[in-house]
């Protein structure tokens, strides 16, 4: 069949060439570069024998449709690495079909990077803010899902994780983690039965779905994997057991247990409300379709970029910075940034018996090509009764900000300004190497030593300063010197030592759907070398735990502990946490030094 020019254009549209300029489109059709107009190709003469075929220049012959499509595919770069993970793991629940199609049609990583930036900007509820609250909340939800809903697979892959990431924390949770005896309400048939573990989530209102939304999740495998169900009878563990767990009507002989499985959507017992339940079956199907569809984009017209800020100059205002790394997904790393300032370096203004110091903070993360990927601005206020000001000058003030970043090498710049003394300023700048956590390879977050750590209430989970998952943890920050750029953090003997670390990619036993690793943490005292002896490490405390005690069905676990150090002599120490995974046959360890004063 002979294809004319209109046919070829249709083929080009199907293959995605509609994104190319006209000259580029002609170049792909003829094989000539787009810099100069292609020469007109004459149709080949009728076949007159093998002798004439030898006179045709193979470089000038017109390519077949198959060759043109192959050439186009060669031009486009395949989506892989961090961009593939972003599409398949970071945003699968919130990206629209049109956006997914457009992202797959992009030809190179530069275009994909710009697309991702605009993707988050379109969802930013406050375009004038340098922060993107939608993006930060999205990755916070992923981290929470991984922490709480893992079940032999990452928490974000579970149904509870899907719903939590899409809609946030429910207003109410009715949890039955052990199942057990259950008194059915009348609209489920009444009577008593035993159930599998299940949860009912209630939302007062979900935009685009409605009011008083109830969602039910059932763990029929009893392995921690609660799946969403529109059949409220699925949680009945005795449903298939003859003469057990009967409804009121069944126990009175008015109906048979087999009637539950007559083909209706829900396997509930028949009763006075049966007709009502049947009339709502299509409502439940519609609810499911709405729940698992990506939410609509609210800000289609947003195309502005966040404002670039210039760093100010002035007298040195010293401050210390600590960065940590916590895995959210394979391609997204949460980077908590802790900034510590001495109160003595601030300028305090006293009014009405209250002394107040105010510091403005500006931070910026850029790529090696100077492209800004994250900015944050905030104000820190320190207030003290004027009579206590002198004592408070020996203390430090700490600021915390967590940024989601792709793995890679960046530059972190931070500037601070003393508001009460505008010429008093400080600057910090250094490289930021965000690690890659590869599948099947045992990995850990940073080992964080903290002076404060506690479990937060359910209302505070995953939000607020110094909160990672359901833990409040305030890192200790060291103060580098020219002779020691990486000094250990310091604790006083009347303080407590807290440490926190997450472990990723634990092996999961296929039969039990659980992990099996030994966790050992220890405190080691370091005796410095002398002229006649070498340095010696002495274990002064050690304890071992089983990974199942920290989350049996998850490939991720959190190791956290608070220890008193009043019994430790002043000197140099280090905390070491070791993981020995019996299933994947991998080992990993992290250490962090500290000094007891």
pLDDT by residue (tens digit) across 351-404?
888 899 998 888 888 887 777 788 888 888 888 888 888 888 888 889 999 888
Residue 307 has pLDDT above 70, yes or no: no
* pLDDT band with cut points at 50, 70 and 90 for residue 102: confident
Residue intervals in the chain for CATH 2.60.40.2550: 438-597
Cβ–Cβ < 8 Å for 92, 295? no
Query: By C-alpha distance, which of 408, 401, 418, 315 is closest to 363?
Result: 401
Tell which phi-psi region holds residue 31, choosing left (phi > 0), alpha (psi between -120 and 50) or beta. Answer: left
Average pLDDT over residues 531-537: 79
Average pLDDT over residues 143-154: 90
Residue 449 has pLDDT above 90, yes or no: yes
Pairing of strands 320-323, 333-342: antiparallel
Residue 323: both structure tokens together: 């960065």
* pLDDT band with cut points at 50, 70 and 90 for residue 583: very high
Cβ–Cβ < 8 Å for 409, 433? yes
The confidence score (pLDDT) of residue 52 equals: 46
Residue 518 has pLDDT above 50, yes or no: yes
Helix (H, G, I), strand (E, B) or coil at 425: strand
Residue 441: both structure tokens together: 């390879």
Torsion over CA: 120, 125, 130, 134 (sign):
negative
Average pLDDT over residues 496-515: 91
**pLDDT by residue (tens digit) across 165-223?**
999 999 999 999 998 899 888 777 888 899 999 999 999 988 878 888 999 999 998 88
The confidence score (pLDDT) of residue 534 equals: 79
* pLDDT band with cut points at 50, 70 and 90 for residue 55: low
**Which range scores top for mean pLDDT: 54-58, 78-82, 492-496?**
492-496
Question: Helices 109-121 and 97-105 sit at what angle, rounded to 10 degrees?
Answer: 160
Could you tell me the fold of the domain covering 438-597? Immunoglobulin-like (2.60.40)
DSSP assignments along 222-242, one per residue: SSS--EEES-GGGGBTTTTST
* pLDDT band with cut points at 50, 70 and 90 for residue 31: very low
* pLDDT band with cut points at 50, 70 and 90 for residue 312: very low
* Mean per-residue pLDDT over the chain, rounded: 80
CATH number of 308-436: 2.60.40.10
Looking at residue 86, the DSSP 8-state letter turns out to be I
The confidence score (pLDDT) of residue 75 equals: 46
Looking at residue 155, the DSSP 8-state letter turns out to be G
Residue 438: both structure tokens together: 């590869």
Task: Give the distance between the most distant pair of CA atoms in the chain.
Answer: 107
Query: By C-alpha distance, which of 168, 159, 170, 161 is closest to 212?
Result: 170
Percent of the chain with pLDDT over 90: 30
Element (H, E) at 113: helix 109-121
Strands (E), 38-176: 172-176
Q: How far is CA 446 from CA 156, 558, 559, 582, in A?
A: 22, 11, 11, 22
The confidence score (pLDDT) of residue 367 equals: 86
**Which range scores top for mean pLDDT: 159-173, 245-259, 309-323?**
159-173
Query: By C-alpha distance, which of 263, 421, 279, 445 is closest to 347?
Result: 421
Average pLDDT over residues 460-470: 76
The confidence score (pLDDT) of residue 208 equals: 77
Q: Which of 82-91, 261-270, 376-385 has the lowest mean pLDDT?
A: 261-270
* pLDDT band with cut points at 50, 70 and 90 for residue 591: very high
The confidence score (pLDDT) of residue 400 equals: 92
Residue 17 has pLDDT above 50, yes or no: no
- Distance between CA 171 and CA 570 in Å, rounded? 49
Residue 251 has pLDDT above 50, yes or no: yes
Cβ–Cβ < 8 Å for 584, 515? no
Which phi and psi (to 5°) does residue 115 adopt? -60, -45
Element (H, E) at 350: strand 348-351
The confidence score (pLDDT) of residue 185 equals: 83
Q: CA geometry: angle at 562 spanning 559 and 566, to 5°?
A: 145
The confidence score (pLDDT) of residue 205 equals: 86
Residue intervals in the chain for CATH 2.60.40.10: 308-436
Residue 238: both structure tokens together: 């005795």
């Amino acid at each position: 069949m002979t294809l004319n020019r209109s046919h070829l254009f249709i083929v080009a549209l199907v293959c995605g060439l509609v994104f190319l300029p006209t000259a580029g489109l002609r170049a792909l059709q003829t094989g000539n570069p787009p810099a100069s107009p292609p020469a007109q190709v004459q149709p080949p003469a009728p076949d007159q024998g093998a002798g004439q075929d030898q006179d045709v220049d193979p470089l000038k012959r017109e390519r077949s449709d198959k060759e043109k499509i192959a050439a186009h595919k060669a031009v486009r770069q395949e989506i892989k690495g961090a961009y593939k993970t972003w599409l398949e793991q970071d945003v699968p629940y919130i990206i629209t079909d049109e956006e997914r199609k457009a992202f797959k049609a992009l030809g190179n990583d530069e275009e994909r990077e710009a697309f991702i930036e605009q993707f988050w900007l379109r969802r930013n509820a406050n375009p004038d803010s340098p922060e993107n609250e939608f993006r930060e909340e999205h990755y916070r939800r992923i981290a929470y899902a991984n922490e709480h809903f893992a079940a032999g697979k990452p928490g974000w892959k579970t149904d509870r994780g899907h719903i939590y990431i899409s809609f946030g924390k429910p207003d109410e949770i009715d949890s039955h983690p052990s199942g057990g005896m259950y008194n059915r309400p009348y609209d489920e048939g009444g009577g008593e039965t035993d159930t599998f573990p299940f949860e009912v989530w209630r939302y007062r209102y979900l935009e685009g779905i409605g009011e008083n939304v109830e969602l039910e999740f059932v763990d029929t495998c009893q392995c921690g994997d609660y799946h969403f169900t529109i059949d409220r009878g699925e949680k009945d563990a005795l449903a298939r057991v003859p003469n057990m767990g009967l409804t009121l009507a069944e126990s009175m002989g008015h109906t048979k247990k087999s009637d539950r499985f007559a083909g209706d959507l829900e396997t509930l017992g028949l009763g006075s409300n049966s007709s009502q339940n049947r009339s709502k079956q299509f409502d439940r199907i519609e609810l499911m379709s709405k729940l698992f569809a990506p939410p609509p984009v609210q800000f289609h017209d947003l195309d502005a970029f966040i404002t670039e800020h210039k760093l100010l100059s002035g007298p040195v205002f010293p401050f210390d910075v600590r960065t940590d790394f916590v895995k959210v997904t394979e391609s997204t790393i949460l980077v908590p940034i802790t900034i510590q300032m001495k109160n003595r370096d601030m300028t305090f203004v006293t009014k009405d018996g209250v002394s107040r110091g105010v510091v403005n903070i500006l931070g910026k993360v850029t790529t090696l090509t100077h492209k800004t990927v994250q900015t944050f601005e905030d104000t820190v206020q320190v207030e003290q009764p004027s009579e206590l000001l002198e004592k408070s000058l020996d203390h430090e003030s700490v600021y915390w900000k967590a940024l989601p970043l792709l793995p890679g090498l960046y530059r972190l710049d931070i500037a601070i300004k003393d508001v009460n003394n505008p010429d008093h300023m400080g600057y910090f700048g250094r490289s930021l190497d965000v690690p890659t956590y590869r599948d099947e390879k045992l990995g850990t977050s940073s080992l964080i030593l903290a002076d404060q750590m506690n479990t937060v209430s359910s209302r505070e989970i995953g939000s607020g300063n110094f909160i990672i998952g359901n833990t409040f943890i305030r890192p200790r920050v060291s103060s580098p010197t020219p002779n020691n750029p990486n000094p250990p953090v310091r604790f006083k003997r009347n303080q407590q030592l807290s440490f926190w670390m997450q472990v990723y990619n634990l092996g999961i036993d296929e039969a039990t759907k659980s992990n099996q690793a030994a966790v050992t943490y220890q405190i080691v005292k370091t005796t410095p070398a002398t002229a006649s002896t070498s340095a010696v490490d002495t274990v002064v405390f050690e304890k071992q735990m089983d990974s199942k005690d920290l989350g049996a069905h998850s490939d991720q676990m959190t190791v956290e502990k608070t220890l008193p150090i009043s019994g430790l002599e002043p000197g140099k120490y280090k905390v070491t946490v070791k993981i020995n995974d019996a299933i994947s046959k991998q080992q990993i360890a992290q250490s962090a030094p500290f000094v007891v004063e």
